Amino acid sequence: MSTITRRVIPMPPAAAKALVAGGGLAAAASTFIHWTWTSEFPGDLTVDGYPGGLQVLTLVAGLLTTLFALPLYGVKGTRWLSPAGPEAAALLMATATLATTWYTLIAISAELGGVANLEPGGYVAGLASLLPLIGALGLPHRSAAIGFPRLGGVVSQIRYGLTALNRLVGPRPDVPAVKPLNRWVEVLIIIGAAAVGLTVFTYGITTEYGELFSGFLILTALGAWTLVRSGLAGRLTAITARHRGTSTAAAFAAAAAFPFTQSDDHFATVGVNILIFATVALGLNVVVGLAGLLDLGYVAFLGVGAYAAALVSGSSSSPVGLHFPFWAAALTGMAAALVFGVVIGAPTLRLRGDYLAIVTLGFGEIFRIAVNSLDGISGPKVTNGPNGIRNIPDLDILGFNFGIEHTFGSFTLGRFANYFLLMLLFTGIVVVVFSRANDSRIGRAWVAIREDETAAQAMGINGFKLKLLAFALGASLAGLAGTVMAHVSYSVVPDPYQFAASVPPNSAFLVAAVVLGGMGTISGPLVGATLLYLIPEKLVFLKNYQLLFFGIALVLLMRLRPEGLIAGRRQQLEFHEDDESQEPAEPGEPVLTKAGA
């Protein structure tokens, strides 16, 4: 059955286009009218002529909706916005406008005690945000079997709805090949993309209350989906592939600029913790993403590196009493983690699948119990047991003290901003190691083992030796991150280094960051780790229910994008090989493919 073109809401094409473009402008204009009468709702939405708080998100969404509506009219120079077709992009941005606006109106009503707290501007915004969605549904879309499903079980209804939604906005876009632009134009595009990424990340990390961050998540999620479905993300990926060096330099320059945008050291604290979490996740990606080894005790290697560095960094509570320079402490942490990786991996890596996962989970628990017992009472005094190693001094490298503020012109970098830049350097090292390993002969052998270890061994690959190498390399990278983590937190205690601690990094969330972000890629674990750290940090009420919401998000993502948020070409082909031929079936009916059934 081939994909057909149809309109969900029949209407003249000119009217549909006008509703999309005009509705986006109307929604943006509504943010200049007050939405509520009291400033008790965060963001103060009582001011006319000046959008505030969540109104800013509706303003941005409305303007973007109008921008993505321009290709519908064939405006010269706007085709690059939607190289894969403008209809799906218009629909998704219209949905983003509606979602952010109605989320704000519902939040106002819920927190202030009813819809009576909405002023006329709120009602105008609610109606205006409906217009672009109605118009977008009146545009022709590539879909199949989109309609009202027959009554069936709840699971069948949900499955049908998700499949139909995915089909409504079109299959995985095939971006038309175009002639490359001028080299310097493409470089400017890369720099602009890095600047936009820095702006979005900075806005998200500096949100001061949960309602604003929730709205930010809604807009960024639908906005990212729009970029993918419009083909603009694919076009940008092609440009960055032609200029890998420039793209990498622009990304790290944008990350290095982050501390200079902050006046509150608290947000720099969040930033450095995200980098630590993301770097450890990238190290785990060597083990899980490339070699296909499910390691559920990986966070223990982070703890080994942190404890090893803390013991030799001059802490007043260290039983060792040594004070190495930082470079030596970092090498000590890496070496200790590498040794533990080899010692644990040598007898266990002959196991596969679930058996290996259980053994590594046991190693993580053994590590936590061991460091709790090495307190001088239950065992030798090495780690001080539950009290840990405290009073770890700040780093002083070449006269630069990381524990005090430093002023550069009009910019002031606090303690955590200093450590952010140091951790960014280590992240760069881990990225280089991962990319070199991935592109090497050893990396290809890891992928072969991940896909089919028996077949790889039949082709002459020494599976045990290469798996042990992956285990050792991943462990040493985690140990390197642990050396910085020990100095950032001033202390090392056993509690965080377990399978499911109350706060990341822990083994469960590290594995989740790799799987959700995209296994075998560089940016996937970085994005996954950022989201998994930032969401509980900003949405405090989720901390008691984070596993519940994490499970829901995991189910939805595995249904809509099983290859992860950012996936390589191999994963896309693996998970979407039959997308073009598969049609959404009514609940209770089999899925039809080109081969019949």
pLDDT digits (tens, 9 = 90+) for 196-235: 999 999 999 989 888 999 999 999 999 998 998 888 888 8
DSSP label of 492: B
For the CA atoms of 263, 266, 269, 274, the dihedral, rounded to the nearest 10 degrees, stands at: -100
Structure tokens at 354: 């679930």
pLDDT at 212: 92
CA 207 to CA 217: how far, in whole Å?
11
User: 82-119: per-residue pLDDT in tens?
Assistant: 887 788 889 999 999 999 999 999 999 999 988 989 99
Write the CB contacts of 31 (distance below 8 Å, at least 6 apart in sequence). 51, 55, 56, 58, 59, 62, 125
Asked which of 52-61, 272-281, 569-578 is least confident by mean pLDDT, the reply is: 569-578
Q: Which of 162-176, 409-423, 468-482 has the highest mean pLDDT?
A: 468-482
pLDDT at 580: 44
pLDDT at 144 over 60: no
Share of the chain above pLDDT 70, in %: 86
Number of H helices, E strands in the chain: 21, 6
pLDDT at 21: 93
Q: For residues 49-63, give the mean pLDDT.
A: 93
Q: For residues 350-374, give the mean pLDDT.
A: 86
Asked which of 10-19, 380-389, 402-411, 443-452 is least confident by mean pLDDT, the reply is: 402-411
pLDDT at 142: 61
Q: Is the peptide bond before 590 cis (omega within 30 degrees of 0)?
A: no
CA 269 to CA 281: how far, in whole Å?
18
pLDDT at 589: 40
Q: Is 75 exposed, middle or buried (0-12, 13-18, 19+ CB in 10 A)?
A: exposed
pLDDT at 333: 92
pLDDT at 150 over 50: no
Q: For residues 331-342, give the mean pLDDT.
A: 92
Q: How do 406-408 and 400-401 pair as beta strands?
A: unpaired
Structure tokens at 572: 């896309």
Task: Report domain 244-403+411-576's class.
Answer: mainly alpha
For residues 137 and 8, the answer to whether their CB atoms sit within 8 Å is: yes
Report CA-CA distances (Å) from 144 to 3, 267, 581: 6, 46, 11
pLDDT at 173: 63
H-helix or E-strand spanning residue 143: strand 141-143
Q: For residues 330-358, give the mean pLDDT.
A: 88
Q: Which residue(s) pair with 492 in the sheet?
A: 389
Q: For residues 485-494, give the mean pLDDT.
A: 88
Helix axes 13-30, 120-137, angle to 10 degrees: 150
Share of the chain above pLDDT 90, in %: 33
pLDDT at 20: 94
CA 302 to CA 309: how far, in whole Å?
11
Q: What does residue 538 show for φ and ψ, rounded to 5 degrees?
A: -85, -40
pLDDT at 321: 79
User: 500-547: per-residue pLDDT in tens?
Assistant: 766 667 788 888 888 888 888 888 889 988 988 888 888 876 667 767
Provide the 10 A C-beta neighbour count for residue 240.
18
CA 342 to CA 337: how far, in whole Å?
9
pLDDT at 145 over 80: no
pLDDT at 593: 40
Structure tokens at 310: 């803390």
Rg (CA), the chain: 26
pLDDT at 120 over 50: yes
Provide the 10 A C-beta neighbour count for residue 306.
33
Q: Is 436 exposed, middle or buried (0-12, 13-18, 19+ CB in 10 A)?
A: exposed
Average pLDDT of the chain is 83
Of 61 and 505, the one with more pLDDT: 61
pLDDT at 572: 67
**Which is nearest to 568 in space by CA: 449, 439, 473?**
439
Q: Dihedral of CA 464/465/468/474: which sign?
A: negative
pLDDT at 146: 43
Q: At 413, is the secondary structure helix, strand, or coil?
A: strand
**Which is nearest to 215 in space by CA: 552, 544, 538?**
538
pTM for the whole structure? 0.85
Q: For residues 174-185, give the mean pLDDT.
A: 75
**Which is nearest to 65 in space by CA: 11, 116, 19, 115?**
19
The CA-based diameter of the chain, rounded to the nearest angstrom, is 81
pLDDT at 174: 64
Angle CA 356–362–366, to nearest 5:
145
CA 313 to CA 327: how far, in whole Å?
10
Q: For residues 302-320, give the mean pLDDT.
A: 89
pLDDT at 105: 95
CA 1 to CA 257: how far, in whole Å?
51
User: 472-481: per-residue pLDDT in tens?
Assistant: 999 999 999 9
Report CA-CA distances (Å) from 528 to 147, 195, 383, 521: 34, 20, 32, 11
Q: At 63, is the secondary structure helix, strand, or coil?
A: helix
Residue corresponding to tokens 């040794």:
339
Q: Which residue(s) pair with 4 in the sheet?
A: 143
CA 516 to CA 500: how far, in whole Å?
17
| Per-residue pLDDT band at 584 (split at 50, 70, 90) | very low
pLDDT at 293 over 60: yes
For residues 144 and 584, the answer to whether their CB atoms sit within 8 Å is: yes
| Per-residue pLDDT band at 576 (split at 50, 70, 90) | low
pLDDT at 455 over 80: yes
Of 187 and 594, the one with more pLDDT: 187
Q: What does residue 21 show for φ and ψ, rounded to 5 degrees?
A: -70, -50
pLDDT at 177: 64
pLDDT at 237 over 70: yes
Residue corresponding to tokens 């940090």:
537
Q: Where are the domains of the chain?
A: 4-139+172-242, 244-403+411-576
pLDDT at 102: 96
Asked which of 177-191, 404-418, 492-506, 512-526 is least confident by mean pLDDT, the reply is: 492-506
CA 310 to CA 383: how far, in whole Å?
9
| Per-residue pLDDT band at 583 (split at 50, 70, 90) | very low
